[in-house]
């Protein structure tokens, strides 16, 4: 079994990935600054799953090159998930956003390049590198916005158009990861991800909108919808993402140097409120009070991932459909209300 480094391994996606790796007998190092609410609880959960000697926590920041190099020293694979993830934070603190996302990624890449183990590096990028996807015709129906002529969604040939400091920092990191494969021969893979959701996600108004809506509904708090609520996103249950992340390493002979759009695809789309609102009302047994806010800068009316390249190269497809996934997340929220009381109200932005 291999030794794996997961940066941001105590976060939502990270802890689900670490749990999967531990379950298959891998030794895992988690590098995390533990600054996000809930990461301490996620770490406690991981400790409860790990056999002695199989889980190591490095408390530190990806902005510190020496810390990253030490954490990566024995790794044969690195999943780089640590990031500043909120568009709003990037607007108010652009330097911090750049240092975490761009400089932090350079530190991971350079640690991998100098390692004698030649580790695979998988980087979680974002669909925000495509900006507002200007040039793709969108039409409006009674309940949703939709692509006029993209039945499969947005593929990897879509021109990059970084929008917001967050888009710029993640986009710069995305391109550095690609270029380290071209220039240095480092086996890297980029996942440009759409909306990921599932258990252990403490969503808030800036990030993790689907979980935020469910948590707020379970707590009986009102929800603010920015825009018209007909924005469409493809949503992917976290277990399906974890499976894709692991396949990217298993199939590195095919995936090295490649970029993949990863999401639920056309079969798993939700209109932010015109679809999700009725689903929540059915789960909750009553409607949720909502308020309405203006459109936010850079908010895409539609984003749907074309996942055919991942299907071809990884033999992968989402297994959990949106309706089942939302129900599973609702059940988890209901069973873990103490998590949200402990960390206060979560604050929805469609991302």
Q: Which of 147, 166, 260, 303 is catalytic?
A: 166
From residue 112, give the alpha-carbon distance in Å to each of 181, 206, 254, 255.
11, 31, 19, 17
Nearest to 302 by CA among 140, 174, 179, 161: 140
Helices (H), the chain: 12-23, 39-49, 65-71, 87-92, 94-98, 104-114, 164-184, 209-219, 238-250, 252-255, 276-284, 308-314, 322-335, 337-342
Measured in degrees and rounded to the nearest 5, phi and psi for residue 269 equal: -105, 150
Residue 166 bears catalytic tag? yes
β-bridge partners, 10: none
Nearest to 60 by CA among 95, 3, 4, 9: 9
Q: Give the total residue count for the chain.
A: 351
Separation of alpha carbons 179 and 100, rounded Å = 19
The two tokens of residue 77 are 């694979």
- Number of Cβ within 10 Å of residue 124's Cβ equals 27
CA dihedral in degrees (94, 98, 101, 103; nearest 10)? -160
Contact call for residues 209 and 350 (beta carbons, < 8 A): yes
Longest CA span, the chain: 58
User: Catalytic positions, please?
Assistant: 166
């Amino acid at each position: 079994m291999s030794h794996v480094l997961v940066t941001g391994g105590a976060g939502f996606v990270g802890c689900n990935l670490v749990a999967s790796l531990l379950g298959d007998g891998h030794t895992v190092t988690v590098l995390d600054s533990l600054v996000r609410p809930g990461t301490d609880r996620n770490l406690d959960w991981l400790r409860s799953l790990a056999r002695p000697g199989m889980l190591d926590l490095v408390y530190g920041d990806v902005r510190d090159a020496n810390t990253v190099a030490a954490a990566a020293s024995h790794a044969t694979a690195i999943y780089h998930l640590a990031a500043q993830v909120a568009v709003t934070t990037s607007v108010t603190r652009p330097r911090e956003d750049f240092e975490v996302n761009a400089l932090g990624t350079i530190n991971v890449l350079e640690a991998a390049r100098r390692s004698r183990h030649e580790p695979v590096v998988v980087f979680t990028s974002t669909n925000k590198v495509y900006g507002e996807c200007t040039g793709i015709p969108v039409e409006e129906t009674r309940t949703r916005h939709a692509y006029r002529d993209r039945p499969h969604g947005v593929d990897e040939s879509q021109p990059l158009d970084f929008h917001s400091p967050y888009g710029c920092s993640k986009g710069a990191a995305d391109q550095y990861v690609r270029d380290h494969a071209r220039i240095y021969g480092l086996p890297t893979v980029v996942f440009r991800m759409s909306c990921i959701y599932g258990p252990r996600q403490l969503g808030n108004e800036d990030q993790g909108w689907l979980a935020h809506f469910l948590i707020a509904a379970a707590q009986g708090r009102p929800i603010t919808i920015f825009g018209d609520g007909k924005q469409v996103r493809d949503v992917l249950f976290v277990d399906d993402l974890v499976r894709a992340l692991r396949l990217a390493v298993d199939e590195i002979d095919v995936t090295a140097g490649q970029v993949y759009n990863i999401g639920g695809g056309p079969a798993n789309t939700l209109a932010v409120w015109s679809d999700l609102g009725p689903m929540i009302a059915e789960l909750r047994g009553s409607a949720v009070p909502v308020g309405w806010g203006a459109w936010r800068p850079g908010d895409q009316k539609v984003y749907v991932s074309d996942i055919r390249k991942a299907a071809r190269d990884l033999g992968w497809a989402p297994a959990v459909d949106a309706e089942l996934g939302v129900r599973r997340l609702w059940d988890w929220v209901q069973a873990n209300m103490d998590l949200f009381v402990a960390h206060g109200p979560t604050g929805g932005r469609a991302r």
